[in-house]
Amino acid sequence: MTDTLIPVTTRKDWSSDQDVRWCPGCGDYSILAAVQLLMPELGIKREDTVFVSGIGCAARMPYYMNTYGMHTIHGRAPAIATGLALARPDLHVFVVSGDGDALSIGGNHLIHALRRNVDITILLFNNQIYGLTKGQYSPTSEVGKVTKSTPFGSLDHPFNPVSVAIGAEASFVARTHDMDRRHMMEVIRRAFEHKGASLVEIYQNCNVFNDAAFETITAKANRDDMLIPLRHGEPIRFGADGDKGVVIDSQRGAHLVDVADVGEDALLVHDETRDDPSVAFMLSRLATGPHEPTPIGVFRDVMRPDYGGGVEHQVAAARDERGPGDLGALLRSGAVWEVS
Amino acid sequence: MIIRFAGDSGDGMQLTGDRFTATSALYGNDLATLPDFPAEIRAPAGTIAGVSAFQVHISDHDITTPGDAPNVLVAMNPAALRSQLVRLAPGATIILNADAFDDRSLSKAGYTEDPRADGSLDGYTVYEVPMTSLTKGAVTPLGVKPRDAERSKNFFALGLVSWMYTRPVDATIEWIQRRFVARPEVAEANTVAFKAGHAFGETAELFDHPFEVKPATLPAGTYTNINGNTALAWGLIAASQLSGLPLFLGSYPITPASDILHELSKHKNFGVRTLQAEDEIAGIGAAVGAAYGGHLGVTTTSGPGMALKAETMGLAVNLELPLLVIDIQRGGPSTGLPTKTEQADLLMAFYGRHGEAPLPILAPRSPSHCFEVAIEAARIALEWRTPVVLLSDGYLANGTEPWRLPDVDELPDLSVTFATEPNHVGDDGEPTFWPYLRDPETLARAWALPGTPGLMHRIGGLEKEDGSGNISYDPANHERMVQLRAEKVARIADHIPPVEVHGDVDDADLLVVGWGSTWGAVDGAVSRARQAGHKVARAHLVHLNPFPPNLGEVVRRYPRVIVPEMNLGQLAHQLRAEFLVDARPVTKVRGVPFTAAELEQQIIDHLKDQA
């Protein structure tokens, strides 16, 4: 903790001795690899790093990281991580969660961790299905989905995790997917570097219960036309030749256009740092699901006081003003009298 | 002398009672108090539902309860009179605000006849004082508007009662000035009203002579007057100081526990961190996270919140991390009686989790005792790496008593030893850290904090392999771990004091076993029964799980055992199950504590019953 020298490490140093037990072919493997490959580049120590998870397939991840870790209970990881991050601002706290864990049973904790801006990095593995309980629909599953618990099709309108996070005024919101290691590493690095709460939605394939859910947009052959890369300071455009783009107008909000029809100057220039979350929210609504052109990258990265910093500031200010606590004086702080 | 102030919930009765208590404490009386207020912030004015009362028992000898039947009632309106009359001692004195007894107020209170005229106050000494108009008359010359003027009438009542009991005046006037410093006109009006009430008592011929309650003879020392929630908060701060671990409170506001959050949030210079969480589950979750990081993790709540925290308490049992779960019990089930006291969460504390999830349970016996029990709960949590439940209740939380301040240098050392080195050699010959290697005596596991180089490990809610802490589905391992966790808690019994028996220790015909806030009433009842010639003993439990090591012998020693509790017999159930004794429950679930008189009668009845 006090030693500032960061030893050079490799992926192996960040890998625990436990056998990884996800189903063969699960998208979680590639996310784990991306994280383990990224960690040596972050300039942090293993002992100062904690992975906290709830319940679900994704929640097994802490066991595979050679760091400190807590595999807790369903939905509560953001709350538990909040306590840890507030108690120990010297630690790097990651939360690993899934769509059911983060958005259904733990939805309340997620939005409040984001709104408070606790300094934690939340990786939300979204596979649009319940895997560990074997194939029920999730709060991100599409309407009409036929699953074990919805033999006649799901009636639930799904959450868009990025919209939820922006709605909670999260200070950092991004999306990536399990088929592009470089993109994952870059986005998670940005999330880690952000001071405050950051949420990364990772489209993740569940090859057993919801195979190919994201194939329409993430398959190599489809990416150019179906993924809209968000790059700060650049006009938002996509397609093999950059022939398509995004504009905002007063009548229709954000929508897709052919660049040839509107001209390059009409395209929306992406600004992650815009304080008002409404444009980022509009971008999150461009696709109704992973079958339409979908933005990926960093939607929002704004500076806002982080909660833990505020807590530490108040503790320090109280000590400056009143000195360190004196128990004897505390007990005598009300009206006292002597009996002899 | 037991005095009860009652009025509309907007009349400031809690403030009046509080102040009368403070001034009595300064005067040197022993005292005990019982606030009794409605859950509604402001129920319809003038109705029975809106009555707020405050009872204080002042005495020139050591007392342990807020008293049985009041000797004096101050009633600010007809609803207050009607709701409180049944509680009064025969021949009690009633001081009425005569101005409030108009037809409309009488009918709002449910009176068809004026009780002052229909004989229902026969047998009481009734003083009718036009408090509203006298207060208005006193303060309107200051330029206060008539409607605001009326609001000072509780200070008129306070002045009147202060005169009756010869309470010092200056301290209250100073207090009024301090309390209302931001609103000098209010301070002035209240001061004038207070003085007017005092002068009225002195000059009017209503009272033959002032009452006098002389100072009590208490053991020498420095005293302060304290309620249970404040004592508990201070005990938590003390435990933090004694252990060297910063205090972290994760909590969600709930009556009657919120004042602990309020109090702790004031003391950040002690390194206290408080999180008002988004819900009860997040409150305990954050406390678990902070505990993992090496803080003294605490969550505070009442019954409904305890139910929500159950799963996380099970996690803490499994993680084997220190955690304090503080339940200020109130009437239940469900929302129940939020502002009334009860002791009906005991079996929830014992068994309210899935799986075999035993944890230690403690209960303070009086408001000031909350300080000591908070420290004891922290001692057990830290030494045995376990969540501990502390069961206080609404009566202890809000009740006050004089507290002889402890010498802080004599409080126990709670320092913790964290793991800093590997404690095991792996199959590969390399030193490694096993988080579930245990102390052979206490069975407490090794505790390494994040940030410690070389000891990285993962813990979680899944069953762990004995020693290594790796996930294990092995049947024999699970059974061993279940038994180890139970044995660890059971062994705490070797490190707690034996239960003491008081009264006719050698030849009692009946033993009264109490826990929690019944202590004062049990003590009073046993003393009275013994004075009446009965052979009675009592034992009070602070440690409820595990029980003190000698409890089985004690409860089997006497021919009759009764267990008074504010539930339907939960401790009695445990004693019967654990020790195969015919412990008889004595129950009361009315939202108010037992009185010593009630319990004295129970003792006599039980002695007769089996004689």
Q: Indicate whether A208 and A274 sit together in one domain.
A: no
Which range marks the domain in which residue B339 is found? 225-410
With beta carbons under 8 A apart, name residues in chain B contacting A86: 248, 273, 275, 286, 290
Q: Indicate whether A281 and A189 sit together in one domain.
A: no
Q: Indicate whether A196 and A154 sit together in one domain.
A: yes
Is A151 within a domain? Answer: yes
- The answer on pLDDT for A5 being more than 60 is yes
Residue B207: what pLDDT?
Answer: 59
- The answer on pLDDT for A221 being more than 70 is yes
Structure tokens at A37: 């490959």
Please check whether residue A84 touches B, CB under 8 A.
yes
pLDDT tens track for B493-502: 999 999 999 9
Mean pLDDT confidence for A121-148: 96
With beta carbons under 8 A apart, name residues in chain A contacting B290: 83-84, 86-87
Please check whether residue B288 touches A, CB under 8 A.
yes
Q: Looking at residue B105, which CATH number applies to its domain?
A: 3.40.920.10
- The answer on pLDDT for B9 being more than 50 is yes
d(CA B445, CA B456): 15
SS3 A299: strand
Please check whether residue A63 touches B, CB under 8 A.
yes
Q: Indicate whether B190 and B240 sit together in one domain.
A: no
Q: Tell me the DSSP string of B111-172.
A: -SS-TTTSSTTTTSEEEEE-HHHHHHHHHGGGT--HHHHHTTHHHHHHHHHHHHTT--SHHH
CB of A204 within 8 A of CB of A213? no
Distance from CA of B266 to the nearest CA of A (A): 9
Is A146 within a domain? Answer: yes
- H or E segment and range at residue A93: strand A92-98
With beta carbons under 8 A apart, name residues in chain A contacting B223: 336-339
Q: What is the dihedral of CA A294, A121, B282, B262, to 10 degrees?
A: -120
Task: Supply the angle between the helices A307-322 and A77-87 in degrees, to the nearest 10.
Answer: 40
Report yes or no for ipTM above 0.90.
Answer: yes
pLDDT tens track for B41-86: 777 888 888 899 998 888 877 777 777 788 889 999 999 999 999 8
Q: Indicate whether B265 and B397 sit together in one domain.
A: yes
- H or E segment and range at residue A331: helix A327-331
Is A166 within a domain? Answer: yes
SS3 A69: strand
Please check whether residue B608 touches A, CB under 8 A.
no
- Out of B358, B382, B410, a domain closes at B410
Q: Do B237 and A325 count as a contact with CB atoms less than 8 A apart?
A: yes
Is A327 within a domain? Answer: no
Number of compact structural domains in chain B: 4
d(CA A221, CA B346): 63
Q: Indicate whether A98 and A202 sit together in one domain.
A: yes
Q: Do A69 and B457 count as a contact with CB atoms less than 8 A apart?
A: yes
Q: Indicate whether A52 and A186 sit together in one domain.
A: yes
Q: Do A87 and B455 count as a contact with CB atoms less than 8 A apart?
A: no
Q: Do A87 and B295 count as a contact with CB atoms less than 8 A apart?
A: yes
Q: Indicate whether A231 and A177 sit together in one domain.
A: no
State the first-to-last Cα distance of chain B, in angstroms, to the nearest integer.
35
Q: Indicate whether B405 and B550 sit together in one domain.
A: no
- The answer on pLDDT for A85 being more than 70 is yes
Residue B327: what pLDDT?
Answer: 98
Is A56 within a domain? Answer: yes
Please check whether residue A76 touches B, CB under 8 A.
yes
Q: Indicate whether A53 and A164 sit together in one domain.
A: yes
Is B219 within a domain? Answer: no
Q: How many C-beta neighbours within 10 Å does residue B587 have? A: 19
With beta carbons under 8 A apart, name residues in chain A contacting B452: 47
Please check whether residue A95 touches B, CB under 8 A.
no
CB of B228 within 8 A of CB of B396? yes
Q: Residue A196's closest CA among A305, A275, A276?
A: A305
**What confidence tier does B165 reach under pLDDT thresholds 50, 70, 90?**
confident
Q: Do B461 and A331 count as a contact with CB atoms less than 8 A apart?
A: no
Please check whether residue A68 touches B, CB under 8 A.
yes
B414 φ/ψ angles, rounded to the nearest 5 degrees: -115, 20
Q: Indicate whether B263 and B400 sit together in one domain.
A: yes
CB of B339 within 8 A of CB of B330? yes
CB of B605 within 8 A of CB of B509? no
Is B213 within a domain? Answer: no
**What confidence tier does B611 reach under pLDDT thresholds 50, 70, 90?**
very low
Q: Indicate whether A115 and A199 sit together in one domain.
A: yes
CB of B555 within 8 A of CB of B515? no
Q: Indicate whether A191 and A249 sit together in one domain.
A: no
- Out of B203, B233, B261, a domain closes at B203
Distance from CA of A120 to the nearest CA of B (A): 13
Is A72 within a domain? Answer: yes
Residue A161: what pLDDT?
Answer: 98
CB of B8 within 8 A of CB of B45? yes
pLDDT tens track for A315-340: 999 999 999 999 999 999 988 888 88
**What confidence tier does A206 reach under pLDDT thresholds 50, 70, 90?**
very high
Is B245 within a domain? Answer: yes
Q: Indicate whether A309 and A278 sit together in one domain.
A: no
Q: Indicate whether A233 and A191 sit together in one domain.
A: no
Residue B93: what pLDDT?
Answer: 86
Please check whether residue B21 touches A, CB under 8 A.
no
Q: Do B459 and A85 count as a contact with CB atoms less than 8 A apart?
A: no
Q: Do B273 and A311 count as a contact with CB atoms less than 8 A apart?
A: yes
Residue with tokens 């969540």: B387
Tell me which residue in B268, B286, B287 faces A318 most closely, judged by beta carbons: B268
Q: Indicate whether B558 and B469 sit together in one domain.
A: no
Q: Strands (DSSP E) along B311-451, which ranges? A: 323-329, 361-362, 387-393, 400-404, 424-425, 431-432
Q: Do B459 and A46 count as a contact with CB atoms less than 8 A apart?
A: no
d(CA A83, CA B282): 9
Distance from CA of A274 to the nearest CA of B (A): 27
Tell me which residue in B278, B286, B460 faces A83 most closely, judged by beta carbons: B286
Q: Is A151 exposed, middle or buried (0-12, 13-18, 19+ CB in 10 A)?
A: exposed
d(CA B163, CA B180): 22
- Out of B459, B474, B495, a domain closes at B495
pLDDT tens track for B437-474: 999 999 999 999 999 999 999 999 999 999 999 999 99
Residue B205: what pLDDT?
Answer: 58
Which of A191-205, B64-78, B366-380, B506-520 bottoms out in mean pLDDT, i.e. has the lowest? B64-78
pLDDT tens track for B191-236: 999 999 998 888 775 554 555 566 677 889 999 989 999 999 999 9
Q: Which of residues 427-486 of B touch A (CB under 8 A)?
A: 450-462, 470-471
Nearest CA in chain B to A67: B456
Q: Indicate whether B396 and B421 sit together in one domain.
A: no
pLDDT tens track for B240-252: 999 999 999 999 9
Which of A272-281, B54-63, B122-131 bottoms out in mean pLDDT, i.e. has the lowest? B54-63
CB of A92 within 8 A of CB of A117? no
d(CA A204, CA A176): 9
Q: Which of residues 1-20 of A touch B (CB under 8 A)?
A: 1, 3, 16, 18
CB of A80 within 8 A of CB of A110? no
Residue B64: what pLDDT?
Answer: 76
Mean pLDDT confidence for B90-107: 90
Q: Do B278 and A109 count as a contact with CB atoms less than 8 A apart?
A: yes
| Residue environment code for B314-347, b if the CB has 16+ CB neighbours within 10 A, otherwise e | bbbbbbbbbbbbbbbbbbbeeebbbbbbbbbbbe
Is B526 within a domain? Answer: yes
Tell me which residue in B221, B285, B454 faces A76 most closely, judged by beta carbons: B285
Q: Indicate whether B372 and B244 sit together in one domain.
A: yes
d(CA A184, CA B65): 66
Nearest CA in chain A to B271: A315
Tell me which residue in B275, B278, B457 faces A108 most closely, judged by beta carbons: B278
Q: Indicate whether A287 and A144 sit together in one domain.
A: no
Q: Indicate whether B342 and B255 sit together in one domain.
A: yes
d(CA B457, CA B46): 63
Q: Indicate whether B491 and B527 sit together in one domain.
A: no
SS3 A199: strand
Q: Do A109 and B275 count as a contact with CB atoms less than 8 A apart?
A: no
Structural Rg of chain B based on CA atoms: 27
- The answer on pLDDT for A210 being more than 80 is yes
Q: Indicate whether B69 and B135 sit together in one domain.
A: yes
Residue with tokens 């256009």: A257
Is B212 within a domain? Answer: no
Q: Looking at residue A192, which CATH number applies to its domain?
A: 3.40.50.970
Is A67 within a domain? Answer: yes
Tell me which residue in A87, A334, A338 faces B289 most closely, judged by beta carbons: A87
Q: Is B295 exposed, middle or buried (0-12, 13-18, 19+ CB in 10 A)?
A: buried
pLDDT tens track for A31-75: 999 999 999 999 999 999 999 999 999 999 999 999 999 999 999
Which range marks the domain in which residue A232 is found? 226-291
**What confidence tier does A104 reach under pLDDT thresholds 50, 70, 90?**
very high
d(CA A126, CA A123): 9
pLDDT tens track for B263-284: 999 999 999 999 999 999 999 9
pLDDT tens track for B541-583: 999 999 999 999 999 999 999 999 999 999 999 999 999 999 9
Structure tokens at B257: 């526990």
SS3 B11: coil
Is A19 within a domain? Answer: yes
Q: Indicate whether B510 and B488 sit together in one domain.
A: no
Structure tokens at B134: 């006298």
Q: Indicate whether B312 and B176 sit together in one domain.
A: no
| Average per-residue pLDDT for chain B | 93
Q: Do A83 and B271 count as a contact with CB atoms less than 8 A apart?
A: no
Mean pLDDT confidence for A191-219: 97
Please check whether residue A328 touches B, CB under 8 A.
yes
Number of compact structural domains in chain A: 2
